[in-house]
Amino acid sequence: MNQIDLALFCAEGLAPFLRKELSLHHRHGTTISPSCVVLRDCPMSEIAYLNHYIRTCESVGLVLFETQLSSLDQLRDQLLEVEFSRFFANDRVFAVKGFRFGDHPFISVDLARATASGMSRSLLRDKIVAKANLRNPDIDFHAWLFQDQYILTLNTTGIFQSESMQLPFQHQAPIQRTIAAALVLESQYFTHKRFFDPMCGGGTVGIEALALEQQLSLDRFRSQDFAYKNHHYATEIPGKPESQWTKPGKMRDESLILADSSRNKVKGAIENLQYFGLKSEFRLYRGNAIKMSYLADDRDIPSIITNPPYGIRVKNPKDVDILYQEFARAAKDRNVQEIVAITPRKRAWIAALEDVGYEISLIQPVDFGGLPTSIMKAKK
């Protein structure tokens, strides 16, 4: 394999942020869907680079086959022409998983079965008998269907990035780390000197902010190594690459600020930051986002980046509306210039910020673990 195509998959709706991050690494992709960006004609070394450094991406797939899908029967026949045998060695077992976006007369399992059937026929033609193992495969293939656009990839990442980060403290409703990275990229964090998350939970937004700034490799945040290192073709991939990131602003020269009203969450955030050796980069406070009294007379905070509560465990949804309203007033009082956040309570969030004079400059729908939410940016 000389030049290859790579498909980068993300939470649905994150594709614009993924492309923005890629551009900072001097890479430019084509958006296939709100959850997929494809890079064409890449060197093999890109498999390692993208897995190590692209933080808004859930997984990197080596593209094996693409087509406009008309039927599953036709797909089985088309896959017969693909040479899968080059990825099988030493009696390794494989799995095929299906992922669908759109309306179809079949389910994702049917898509995976049709793909596996076509692959098995191709392997038999090459006199290779491959065994399937869905729970613990050596080689993991992903069949993606975006409306009628079918893409078959070899999963080079392994466990998806958001699922791979095991933290000492697990928040009961954690933000996905790829979404946290997107919030940071959308903000002016790299231009301003300061950043504040007044509803920090387990500290994920802060972790992603520093990881992006310092270009920390993702292998530092994974409980399992990248899948490509165990693949037959991996001998063609060089070792850990160096980042080619271009920082879109100047270096921060002050500590970041994290806070939460829960003593347990502040303690948990400290544990998580210490786990990655980042605690010295933060000031942490226990206090609510309504008064922000822990900031004393500090009224010059340019950016707030946060994932506010949205009421899953709140008996009265009006309590969330009140929280948003009082937070917005406190942010205005502290002269916060921009607020980047994600919440499913879009109307309540926008109303609270507009009532105190903020203008909404971005509303990007994002699927947050099956929950329809929006990333929103407000400016003063």
DSSP string, 218-284: GGGG-SS--GGGGSGGGGGS-SSPPP----SSPPP-S-EEEEES-HHHHHHHHHHHHHTT-GGGEEE
Which has the minimum average pLDDT: 64-68, 256-260, 309-313, 349-353? 309-313
* Domain 4-158, classified CATH 3.30.2130.30, yes or no: yes
- 161-177: pLDDT as tens digits: 999 888 899 888 889 99
User: What is the full DSSP assignment across 61-105?
Assistant: EEEEEEEE-S-HHHHHHHHTTS--GGG--TT--EEEEEEEES--S
* pLDDT-derived band at 311, boundaries 50, 70, 90: confident
- 334-346: pLDDT as tens digits: 999 999 999 999 9
b/e map 271-293, b = 16+ CB within 10 Å: ebbebbebbebbebbeebbeebe
Which range is most confident: 120-129, 170-179, 257-266, 280-289? 257-266
Q: What local confidence, expressed as pLDDT, does residue 312 receive?
A: 63
Mean pLDDT on 208-236: 89
Query: What is the homologous superfamily of the domain 172-216+250-379 according to CATH?
Result: Vaccinia Virus protein VP39 (3.40.50.150)
What separation, in Å, do the N-terminal and C-terminal C-alpha atoms of the chain show? 51
Strand pairing report for 338-343 and 149-155: unpaired
Whole-number Å distance between alpha carbons of 62 and 315: 46
Question: What is the average pLDDT value for the chain, to the nearest integer?
Answer: 92
Mean pLDDT on 145-154: 98
Q: Is the pLDDT of residue 1 over 70?
A: no
Q: Do domains 4-158 and 172-216+250-379 have the same CATH topology?
A: no
Which has the minimum average pLDDT: 22-31, 123-132, 216-225? 123-132
* pLDDT-derived band at 360, boundaries 50, 70, 90: very high
- 76-95: pLDDT as tens digits: 999 999 999 888 876 778 99
* pLDDT-derived band at 239, boundaries 50, 70, 90: confident
Can you say whether residue 277 is alpha, beta or left, with left for phi > 0 and alpha for psi between -120 and 50 degrees? left
Phi–psi pair at 242, nearest 5 degrees: -95, 145
Q: Is the pLDDT of residue 218 over 70?
A: yes
Mean pLDDT on 156-161: 96
Q: Is the pLDDT of residue 56 over 90?
A: yes
- 92-136: pLDDT as tens digits: 789 999 999 999 999 999 999 999 999 999 999 988 888 888 888
Q: What local confidence, expressed as pLDDT, does residue 156 receive?
A: 97
Q: What percent of the chain has pLDDT over 90?
A: 73
Mean pLDDT on 202-213: 94
Q: What local confidence, expressed as pLDDT, does residue 254 receive?
A: 65
Whole-number Å distance between alpha carbons of 141 and 50: 18
Mean pLDDT on 165-193: 90
* pLDDT-derived band at 252, boundaries 50, 70, 90: low
Give Cβ neighbours of residue 85 (< 8 Å, ≥ 6 apart): 122, 123, 126, 128
* pLDDT-derived band at 296, boundaries 50, 70, 90: confident
The domain spans of the chain are 4-158, 172-216+250-379
